[in-house]
């Protein structure tokens, strides 16, 4: 059986000019929370052949990328056949070059119209997403073997936990989803967002990365299940799953409180999704770091020299630990659909890959059903609110000219991957 060694991307972060999406809308606001707009991004929409060539030449045999819902359905109920043809061309080029396409149907960005309709806190989204999934598989499914419905279905919960943690440290106790007294800047941002999406002045624009309520979490679960069933109704041969962002949760002391906090965090991040994914064909595990819990909560990393550019700990050993914990209760195939490091010095990325791949080899030798590894990301890209400052890529992109330069880490990943096949 083939072991897949590849890299991952997300449409909005690399394609450019995703003008009908919610993120594009937010990026253009006068008081945007985004450091800078995505604009042409790294122009993967027009340069995908070159990028897939570089992936192939390095020895990688799979490419995980997303189809942009806002391109496919730019207006509610109107599907764009030209954009479908574009993604068919990307899939065909992968297959022509012996690269397995792993398609994600939703990777954070959504059509602008969906947010106007209530976004990811509206029950209507379940049917809208089901309809979109059915359309894509009807059009493209014969060319696909693997489909991820939703990227990091738990991201809104994680963001809510981070915000709550910060507020608690400030002495503020508030429930997620309840409006709090906003500063002047936040009030202006909320008003601009509401106006941009055609909402009432104080109405929340519920994008996928808004902090999640319990209702919103269930809507995402229901959307995944509906999409999975729609995919199978069209093509039973496609393997379907979703991806989850998972931390390596560790105890910093032996207190009962620390144990309770770890147990709650693992339930929130992973365990409570088990009923929804038990009928899936695989799980996409996405891991970047660990969190250490003491009786006082998540401990601060003391040695700041061990932080990545994103501000969290450089701890590549986390991935193998997470896989082992997931495999205790999820008995189907596991694909590592994202794992990487934000680092301007590519030597750090090579060291990170070296440790990670040793861990992946270990868990496979232990008999765990890991079937593939996708590094984040294929190229330096638009890292959402942080703009283009974070360097996650295996390929450097000079944005003024869009010139691609493979980093040593790309070839190193391809070389390490040879041992798995």
d(CA 221, CA 219): 5
> Do 368 and 361 form a contact (C-beta atoms < 8 A)?
no
> Do 323 and 370 form a contact (C-beta atoms < 8 A)?
yes
Residue 83 phi, psi (nearest 5): -70, -35
CB contact set of 337 (below 8 Å; sequence gap of 6+): 8, 64, 102, 148, 151, 243, 284, 285, 286, 374
The DSSP bridge pattern shows strands 248-251 and 290-294 to be: parallel
Residue 8: name the closest of 418, 413, 415 by CA.
413
Catalytic annotation, pick one of 15, 27, 134, 152 = 152
Q: What burial letters (b/e) apply to 268-298, b meaning 16+ CB within 10 Å?
A: bbbeebeebbeebebbbbbbbbbbbbeeeeb
Q: Where on the phi/psi map is residue 5: left (φ > 0), alpha (ψ -120 to 50), or beta?
A: beta
d(CA 409, CA 413): 6
> Do 41 and 27 form a contact (C-beta atoms < 8 A)?
no
Alpha helices in 97-178 (DSSP H): 112-116, 124-140, 155-169
Q: What burial letters (b/e) apply to 200-239, b meaning 16+ CB within 10 Å?
A: eeeebbbbbbbbbbeebbebbbbbbbbbbebbeebbeebb
313 beta partners: 307
- Residue 152 is among the residues annotated as catalytic for this protein: yes
d(CA 47, CA 109): 21
Rg of the chain (C-alpha set): 21
* H/E stretch holding 417: helix 408-417
d(CA 281, CA 113): 31
**Which residues are catalytic, by number?**
152
């Amino acid at each position: 059986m083939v072991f897949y060694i590849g890299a991952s991307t997300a449409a909005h972060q690399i394609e450019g000019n995703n003008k009908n999406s919610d993120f594009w809308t937010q990026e253009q606001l006068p008081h945007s929370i985004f450091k800078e707009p995505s604009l042409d991004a790294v122009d993967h929409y027009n340069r995908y052949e070159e990028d897939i060539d570089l992936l192939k030449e390095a020895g990688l045999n799979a490419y995980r990328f997303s189809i942009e819902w806002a391109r496919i359905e730019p207006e509610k109920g109107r599907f764009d056949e030209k954009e479908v043809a574009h993604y068919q061309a990307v899939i065909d080029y992968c297959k022509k070059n012996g690269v397995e396409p792993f398609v994600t149907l939703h990777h954070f960005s959504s059509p602008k119209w969906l947010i106007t309709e209530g976004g990811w806190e509206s029950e209507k989204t379940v049917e809208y997403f089901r309809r979109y999934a059915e359309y894509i598989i009807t059009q493209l499914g014969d060319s696909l073997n693997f489909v991820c419905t939703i990227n990091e279905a738990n991201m809104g919960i994680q963001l809510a936990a981070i915000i709550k943690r910060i507020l608690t440290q400030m002495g503020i106790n508030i429930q997620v989803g309840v409006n709090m007294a906003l500063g002047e800047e936040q009030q202006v941002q909320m008003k601009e967002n509401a106006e941009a999406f055609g909402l009432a002045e104080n109405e929340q624009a519920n994008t996928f990365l808004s902090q999640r309520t319990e209702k919103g979490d269930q809507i995402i679960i229901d959307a995944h299940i509906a999409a999975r069933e729609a995919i199978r109704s069209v093509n039973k041969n496609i393997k379907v799953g979703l991806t989850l962002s998972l931390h390596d949760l560790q105890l910093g002391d032996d207190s009962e409180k620390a144990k309770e906090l770890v147990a709650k965090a693992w339930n929130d991040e992973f365990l409570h999704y088990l009923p929804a994914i038990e009928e899936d064909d695989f799980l996409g595990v996405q891991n970047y770091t660990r969190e250490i819990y003491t009786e006082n909560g998540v401990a601060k990393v003391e040695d700041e020299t061990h932080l990545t550019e994103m501000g969290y700990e450089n701890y590549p050993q986390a991935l193998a630990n997470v896989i082992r914990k997931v495999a205790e209760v999820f008995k189907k195939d596991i694909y590592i659909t994202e794992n990487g490091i934000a680092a301007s010095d590519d030597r750090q990325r090579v060291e990170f890959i070296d440790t990670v791949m040793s861990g992946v080899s270990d868990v496979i030798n232990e008999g765990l059903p890991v079937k593939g590894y996708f590094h984040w990301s294929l190229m330096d890209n638009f890292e959402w609110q942080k703009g283009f400052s974070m360097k996650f890529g295996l390929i450097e992109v000079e944005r003024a000219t869009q010139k691609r330069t493979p980093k040593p880490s790309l070839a190193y990943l391809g070389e390490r991957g040879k041992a798995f096949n």
